[in-house]
Chains A and B, each alone.
Chain A
Amino acid sequence: MSDTHPILEVLDLHVHFKMLAGMVRAVDGVSFAIERGRCLGIVGESGCGKSVTARSILRLLPSSQTSGQILYRSDTDNQPVDLVSLDPKGNAIRAIRGRDIAMIFQEPMTSLTPVYTIGEQILESIRQHQTLSEDEAYELAVSMLNKVGIPDAERRFGDYPHQMSGGMRQRVMIAIALSCQPRILIADEPTTALDVTIQAQILRLIRSLQRDLDMSVIMITHDLAVIAQLADFVVVMYLGQMAEQAPVVELFQNPKHPYTQALLRSIVRPDTPSREQLHSISGSVPDPRNAPSGCRFRNRCPSAHDRCVQDPPVVTFGPRHTATCWLYVDEETGTETAVFRS
């Protein structure tokens, strides 16, 4: 199936917010595609625009100025729908939201409403998109809770969110997201608030459901270990721009962008000599309102150069491996020095 059109294509996405202090370019020229049944990882630090990108796909940011294209193909033969052209409050996007594309949010503590039982919250999503009798909807809801591993699901159906632990609430979120069998699941830092043993359980659950339901997953995280374990293809973002994208093994073994290289070097691995100085990136992520011109990483980059004040080019290194950096362009001739030729 992967030789056909990707299920979702983001083309030159820009999301800007007008604020009192000026224009915040939260996402600035991001393009990527996600294949059917695969997991795309978007990785970056706070303020890199990964969550804004995810929310733009579902048009959850009506006050933003969004341009570019987000092409969604529900089935291979269908004509693509450009989600950017839809009215963010209209019926067309509401039919896609939750049914075709569902999302799990970072905070299982705040993304469930405290005043309804978890059962009612699952039923709401089912009733919104499917015409089922009351009994059928109930049965589906309970079976979803079972599927995500909530023990004693029928009894927990009437529980309020405060009666459940963080891991259980995240499972409820996943059950709600999956109740309409979405084609794409967007998971925004789904395990950041959870403990290691629970994180392992939730990631295993997402992976097995992805296989069972032949679903595409967009995994958004700051944690490279989550990416390494789950993603097939990775987009690395920094301050609203795309630094690099590549298949996961290629990215970990052959990173090209200085930011990706530095990130990978700074993780503590099992074989890192203990108590030695770790590799680190100098400075910290600047405020997006004062992002540097040209390459936004240039004031922290160890290989920064005069040219970096201009917008860097996208250089191709292999099948689907690109990095946005001046480093690989010959200074005099202006030709790419490390270009992949097929």
Chain B
Amino acid sequence: MSDTPILQVEHLSKYFPVQRGLFRKTVAHVKAVDDVTFTVHKGECLGLVGESGCGKTTLARCLLRLVEPDKGRIVLHGEQQALDIVSASRKEMLDVRRQMQIIFQDPFSSLDPRWRVTDVVAEPLIAQRIGRAEAARRVLELLPTVGLGAHFADRFPHELSGGERQRVSIARALIVSPPLVVADEPVSALDVSVRSQIINLLLDLQSQMNLTYIFIAHDLSIVKHISHRIAVMYLGQLVELGTTRQVFEQYRHPYTKALLASALIPDPTRRDEGYVLEGEVPSPINPPSGCHFSTRCPFAQERCSAEEPALRDMGDGHWVRCHFAEELDLSEEIFAPVAALG
């Protein structure tokens, strides 16, 4: 892992209009991604966590312009030149997609049921104007790398299990040898026993092919396992960004702490140790004023709902969006084990 940036995201925003009435008048906006800034380094795995509706999938899609961002810049430091993806032309996008690919969450809906595995995996090559014969040859070469035998090439998606389908999705992403791969919840839809196979495969491929990952998931234990650095999102904003150790052990944002504490411990002798965060994620149409987390934060003060905190550098590349990041004692009683329930 180096400090050379491969992708720089600057003030990226995506607002979806909420339209009402006969003339579809825009009455409000869903701030799905709100002023997000971060850098991805070559060879690392950046984890992105947050609850549903926090904008992590929209962010992933903006990075590849599968959803058009409204504001901001996404600078891809490519093999030849740096390029702003947001303002890239159609022709330049072809080059971007050769350098950056995505693995989708649901292997049951992301593969066309009428296409054979070989067609699915070859499609990015065809888009890159590579001949069919050459494409088919490369598919056969790649399949064993993702743990599928050559006999899978002629199968249809319905003949495959969930884990095999996800291997096909991974092969489709890797066929153009992109240095950067965005993985959007790649294991969430899989069975427990298959999940660890796919995680192992992603780890193997990263070291073999020198890949950089942006790994999106809501399962904290998996993100912790695979990531070098982690970004935590809440209601469209980054609330904390740092190395895995900083986020998991030296967290400075109350939401990060709450998220970590609500993960269930797979050990029956350690019950009632979790902290239960009250309330639900507010609607992103009208996020709370000031700090978006202030409505659920056990430490919220007047200033929190009046003034929006900025994402601040706490040193050593640890960024936190909280007014009181320096002074809060997050080990305080409020996060202590819930001893008596009910």
Contact = CB atoms under 8 A, between A and B. Distances in A.
Contact of A196 (B262, B267, B341): B262
A284 B164 contact: yes
A310 interface: no
Interface stretch (B98-106, B131-139, B187-195): B187-195
A207 interface: yes
Nearest to B197: A280
A249 B200 contact: no
B263 interface: yes
Given A226-B264, A267-B192, A198 B225 contact: no
B338 A199 contact: no
B224 A268 contact: yes
A268 B244 CA distance: 15
Contact of B196 (A201, A252, A279): A279
Contact of A229 (B161, B265, B281): B265
A243 to B, nearest CB: 12
Nearest to A193: B52
A196 B224 contact: no
Interface in B216-259: 218, 220-222, 224-226, 244, 258-259
B306 interface: no
A140 interface: no
A167 B218 CA distance: 16
Contact of A266 (B193, B258, B276, B342): B193
A199 B262 contact: yes
A278 B225 contact: yes
B265 A204 contact: no
A280 B276 contact: no
Nearest to A281: B193
A163 to B, nearest CB: 11
Nearest to B226: A275
A195 B192 contact: no
A268 B222 contact: yes
Interface string A150-164: 000000000000000
Contact of B258 (A197, A267, A275, A300): A197
Nearest to B277: A197
Contacts of B10: none
B266 interface: yes
A277 B342 contact: no
Contacts of A198: 51, 280
A168 B280 contact: yes
B221 A196 contact: no
A131 interface: no
Contacts of B262: 196-197, 199-200
A208 B267 contact: no
A46 B342 contact: no
14 contacts: A165-B281, A195-B281, A197-B51, A197-B259, A197-B276, A198-B280, A199-B264, A251-B268, A269-B267, A274-B224, A274-B225, A280-B194, A284-B164, A284-B194
Interface of B: 51-52, 161-164, 191-197, 199-200, 203-204, 218, 220-222, 224-226, 244, 258-259, 262-269, 271, 274-278, 280-281, 338, 341-342
